[in-house]
């Protein structure tokens, strides 16, 4: 893919740019925020947007823009690690199902069926309730519900490739199942995985926000977009702005990631436009 | 039938239909944040139990009124011997429990024997330790003998922990409470509500309300909506942060009153570096009480400088003992050998005042070089780790017991303050009944613990009730835990 291709898919360009912008905002917050996020100043609380505080201040007088930056980082990190767990475990499972077939395939499929039977966020709540609230458990929860998604996608993509002549040739040349999966199947489903990864990232951000909102995700004094919503909810009738800021940020990030995902899918393989890739519905 | 007749009939019909609607409502639905774990006030420390049943379902020999004064309850009068060791109570006649059994002196004896028994699960057993014997003189007279004089004995008898229960029903009171109060228990829909109904044969004056339900709504936003939609008629304690929604609304009245809850930054006095007075003094200087009150209670808390309720006549204002002074705090830390400060953990129970105060205090302590790590905990975990196992550096908690300065005389208490002088003074205080002497003793203890900076003294919790404007008779202050229904009525 090059810049020219990007130009042919304006929604992809916009989505990628917006998603990158948010990711950068989050990254920058590691080194710099307009105000330190731990700094509490009750005298300055509930200030509306102004030149000093671009997005105003929250109920503890913390700068909302700084909180949004750090919250975005938390959201991306938690969702991103969740996706990495999903890929790291799910893709080998899916590839193994194709390469070995038989019992292995049956087992992998039934395991993903079982996981799919529970709505993703319910699984996440269960995990967070069992192991206690916190960012790490949110990562694990999001990771677990990503595993079957990637297992399915990897298996679906690999099935189509496994019937190709060059795979048969490799097998004749004496390559084992694992080598075929690694050398021939995996590189050819890479684009599928990238597209699915983008979509799962947006679902992960929603899940993280949901978990933090019900108090099972990020814990104060750290912050995340869901936690900001939680803090603001009892103040909604008095200071609606405090809910609007993190709410809109979540919406924008998710839209950006979704149109990036859709755009990537169209750009990478136009034939896929009307097929598959619906596994991610969570 | 003429047109006029039809009209007259229609009007009559409308009036009939309107009739019941115009009558005074006699039901109330009260939103409360926490569901009680049990409904037996003699078997648990949770404030939520008393909120539902105290003075509604259960009564004691005496009762505490809105001002905190002791009034006759099941006992209509009493006499106290010269030496303050013998209390003789004359009981009210015609009192029955809600299951129909009669109340007499044997029930009183049973209740206190049960409370003081080896296997008693009463949360405040220690308060009744001075009782050495309960004697039935005749069915309507009972005598208490104390091993030592106790200035708070009558008040303690009026608490939810000392209500009178019947031997026939006491074992089941947790699920199906049976008392002598003006309201009888009807049902408990777990996770949702408890319903009480007026008890017809009540011995005293019948309350105005005929039915009351306590609806459990822990989420502030949900409770706000329930109040606005009229799904509940009021709540005794609403989150201060959202109080502004109701403050200028003529359909509601906001009652701001006092409670017995001293909110403190509890410090583990057994543990380094908090064993060092200078460190505790530095922490006291580092606290900006006004900012904490503003941020955590939206200005409704009342500053305290010691462990005592500001509305109590014995209270001594010691808020200036260690004023907010960052430089003084740094100097003291340096003198104590912590030039670069130190790190500690702050364990926070799941209540808004603690979580908010915790974040604010962490920010204030950071200014003097003390790094706090906030650890949020659930109640059960907090009670076990902090309260039972004393495994903590710092925590924030409101001590809601009335007149509880005696905890500073108990070296085994969770914050572990061990001072022989305070212990001796407290013993004298307990044995003194003269008001002027008691005041002097209580103030001396207040001064010592304030100077010693045993804990960080933050604020007295306020009670902020939100009620339908047509309701009257609710308690504005909370001298004891409870939502007393007997005086509440609807006005039109």
What number is the average pLDDT over the span B305-324? Answer: 93
Residues of B with CB under 8 A from a CB of A: 219-221, 224, 239, 241-242, 244-245, 291, 294-295, 355-356, 359-360, 362-364, 366, 374, 376
**The pLDDT of residue A282:** 36
Q: Is A220's CB within 8 Å of B374's CB?
A: yes
**The pLDDT of residue A3:** 65
User: How far is residue A256 from each of residues A16, A202, A248, measured CA to CA in Å?
Assistant: 7, 9, 12
**The pLDDT of residue A88:** 95
Q: Domain-by-domain residue ranges, chain B?
A: 59-172, 258-462
Cα separation, A99 vs A123, in Å, equals 29
Residue A273: band (very low, low, confident or very high) from pLDDT cuts 50, 70, 90: very low
Residue B201: band (very low, low, confident or very high) from pLDDT cuts 50, 70, 90: very high
Q: Which ranges of B239-396 would DSSP assign to H, the alpha helix? A: 244-247, 277-286, 289-297, 326-335, 352-368, 379-382
Q: Are A38 and B363 in contact (CB under 8 A)?
A: yes
Q: Is A237's CB within 8 Å of B242's CB?
A: yes
What number is the average pLDDT over the span B35-49? Answer: 87
Architecture of domain A13-27+62-270: Orthogonal Bundle (1.10)
Q: What average pLDDT does the structure give for chain B? A: 90
Residue A274 predicted with pLDDT over 60 = no
CB contacts < 8 A (A, B) = 51
For B62-88, how does the pLDDT look when each residue is reduced to its tens digit (9 = 90+)? 999 988 889 999 999 999 998 889 999
Residue B478 predicted with pLDDT over 60 = yes
Which residues of A are less than 8 Å from B357 in CB distance? none
Pick the CATH number of B59-172 from 3.40.50.10380, 3.90.76.10, 3.50.30.60, 3.40.50.300: 3.90.76.10
Cα separation, B374 vs B64, in Å, equals 38
Which residues of A are less than 8 Å from B355 in CB distance? 220
Does the domain made of B258-462 have the CATH classification 3.10.105.10? Answer: yes
Which residues of A are less than 8 Å from B347 in CB distance? none
The residues that bridge with B195 in the sheet, in sequence order, are B187, B213
**The pLDDT of residue A131:** 79
Q: Is A235's CB within 8 Å of B242's CB?
A: yes
What number is the average pLDDT over the span B282-295? Answer: 94
Residue of B nearest to A61 (CA): B295
Q: Is A40's CB within 8 Å of B359's CB?
A: yes
- Which of A101 and B345 is assigned the larger pLDDT? B345
Strands B27-32 and B211-216: parallel
**The pLDDT of residue B18:** 46
For B255-265, how does the pLDDT look when each residue is reduced to its tens digit (9 = 90+)? 999 988 999 99
Residue of B nearest to A221 (CA): B359
Nearest CA distance, B401 vs chain A (angstrom): 28
Inform me whether the C-beta atom of residue A45 falls under 8 Å from chain B C-beta atoms: yes
Cβ-nearest to A238 among B245, B359, B363 = B245
Q: Domain-by-domain residue ranges, chain A?
A: 13-27+62-270
> For testing the chain A interface, which of B242, B298, B299, B355 should be mutated: the one with the most A CBs within 10 Å?
B242
Q: Is B359's CB within 8 Å of A60's CB?
A: yes
What number is the average pLDDT over the span B23-39? Answer: 88
CA atoms within 13 A on the CB side of B455: 30
CA atoms within 13 A on the CB side of B273: 20
For A159-199, how does the pLDDT look when each residue is reduced to its tens digit (9 = 90+)? 888 888 888 888 888 888 888 888 888 888 888 898 899 99
Cα separation, B388 vs B293, in Å, equals 28
The token pair at B87 is 């209390």
Nearest CA distance, A40 vs chain B (angstrom): 6
For B268-282, how does the pLDDT look when each residue is reduced to its tens digit (9 = 90+)? 999 999 999 999 999
**The pLDDT of residue A276:** 46
**The pLDDT of residue B21:** 47
Structure pTM? 0.80
ipTM for this prediction:
0.76
For B325-346, how does the pLDDT look when each residue is reduced to its tens digit (9 = 90+)? 999 999 999 999 999 999 999 9
**The pLDDT of residue A251:** 95
Helix (H) or strand (E) holding B22: helix B3-22
Residue B194 predicted with pLDDT over 90 = yes
């Amino acid at each position: 893919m090059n810049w020219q291709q990007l130009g042919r898919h304006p929604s992809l360009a916009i989505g990628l740019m917006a998603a990158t912008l948010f990711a950068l905002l989050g990254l920058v917050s590691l080194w710099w925020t307009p105000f330190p996020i731990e700094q509490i100043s009750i005298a300055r609380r509930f200030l509306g947007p102004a030149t000093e505080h671009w997005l105003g201040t929250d109920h503890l007088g913390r700068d909302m823009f700084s909180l949004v930056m750090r919250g975005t980082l938390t959201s991306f990190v938690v969702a991103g690690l969740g996706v990495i767990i999903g890929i790291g475990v799910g893709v080998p499972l899916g590839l193994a199902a194709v390469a070995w077939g038989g019992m292995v395939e049956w087992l992998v499929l039934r395991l993903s069926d079982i996981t799919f039977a529970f709505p993703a966020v319910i699984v996440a709540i269960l995990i967070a309730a069992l192991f206690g609230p916190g960012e790490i458990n949110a990562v694990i929860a999001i990771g677990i519900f990503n595993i079957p998604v990637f297992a399915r996608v990897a298996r679906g993509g690999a099935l189509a490739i496994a019937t190709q002549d060059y795979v048969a040739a490799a097998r004749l040349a004496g390559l084992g199942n694992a080598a075929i999966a690694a050398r021939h199947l995996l590189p050819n489903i890479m684009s599928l995985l990238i597209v699915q990864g983008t979509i799962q990232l947006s679902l992960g951000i929603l899940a993280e926000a949901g978990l933090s909102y019900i108090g099972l995700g990020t814990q104060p004094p750290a912050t995340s977009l869901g936690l900001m919503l939680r803090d603001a909810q009892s103040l909604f009738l008095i200071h609606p702005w405090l809910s609007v800021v993190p709410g809109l940020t979540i919406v924008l990030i998710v839209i950006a990631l979704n149109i990036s995902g859709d755009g990537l899918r169209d750009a990478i393989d136009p034939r896929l436009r009307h097929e598959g890739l619906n596994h991610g519905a969570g | 039938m003429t047109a006029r007749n039809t009209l007259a009939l229609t009007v009559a019909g409308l009036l009939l239909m309107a009739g019941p609607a115009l009558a005074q409502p006699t039901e109330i639905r009260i939103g409360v944040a926490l569901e009680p774990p049990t409904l037996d006030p003699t078997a648990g420390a949770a404030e939520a139990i008393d909120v539902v049943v105290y003075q509604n379902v259960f009564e004691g020999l005496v009762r505490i009124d809105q001002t905190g004064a002791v009034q006759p309850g099941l006992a209509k009068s009493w006499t106290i011997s010269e030496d303050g060791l013998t209390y003789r109570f004359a009981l009210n006649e015609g009192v029955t429990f809600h299951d129909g059994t009669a109340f007499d002196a044997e029930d009183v004896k049973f209740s206190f024997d049960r409370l003081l028994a080896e296997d008693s699960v009463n949360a405040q057993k220690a308060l009744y330790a001075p009782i050495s014997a309960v004697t039935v003189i005749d069915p309507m007279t009972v005598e208490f003998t104390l091993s030592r004089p106790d200035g708070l004995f009558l008040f303690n008898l009026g608490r939810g922990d000392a209500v009178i229960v019947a031997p026939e029903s006491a074992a089941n009171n947790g699920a199906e409470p049976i008392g002598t109060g003006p309201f009888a228990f009807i049902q408990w829909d777990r996770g949702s509500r408890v319903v009480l109904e007026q008890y017809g044969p009540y011995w005293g004056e019948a309350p105005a309300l005929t039915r009351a339900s306590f609806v459990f709504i822990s989420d502030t936003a949900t409770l706000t909506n329930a109040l606005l939609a009229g799904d509940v008629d009021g709540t005794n304690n609403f989150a201060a942060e959202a109080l502004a929604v109701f403050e200028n609304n003529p359909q509601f009245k906001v009652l701001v009153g006092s409670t017995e809850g001293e909110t403190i930054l509890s410090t583990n006095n057994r543990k380094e570096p908090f064993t060092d007075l200078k460190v505790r003094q530095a922490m006291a200087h580092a606290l900006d009480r006004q900012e904490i009150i503003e941020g955590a209670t939206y200005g409704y808390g009342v500053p305290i400088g010691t462990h005592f309720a500001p509305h109590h006549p014995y209270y001594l204002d010691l808020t200036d003992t260690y004023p907010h002074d960052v430089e003084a705090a740094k100097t003291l830390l340096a003198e104590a050998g912590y030039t670069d400060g130190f790190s500690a953990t702050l364990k926070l129970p799941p209540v808004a005042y603690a979580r908010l105060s915790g974040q604010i205090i962490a920010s204030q302590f950071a200014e003097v070089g003390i790094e706090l790590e906030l650890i949020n905990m659930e109640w059960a975990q907090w009670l076990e780790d902090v309260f039972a196992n004393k495994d903590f550096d710092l925590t924030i908690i409101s001590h809601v017991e009335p007149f509880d300065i005696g905890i500073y005389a108990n070296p085994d208490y969770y914050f572990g303050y061990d001072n022989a002088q305070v212990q001796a003074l407290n013993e004298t205080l307990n044995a003194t009944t003269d008001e002027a002497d008691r005041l002097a003793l209580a103030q001396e203890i207040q001064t010592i613990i304030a100077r010693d900076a045993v804990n960080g003294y933050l604020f007295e919790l306020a009670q902020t009730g939100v009620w339908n404007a047509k309701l009257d008779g609710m308690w504005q202050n909370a001298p004891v835990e409870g939502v007393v229904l007997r005086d509440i009525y609807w006005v039109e």
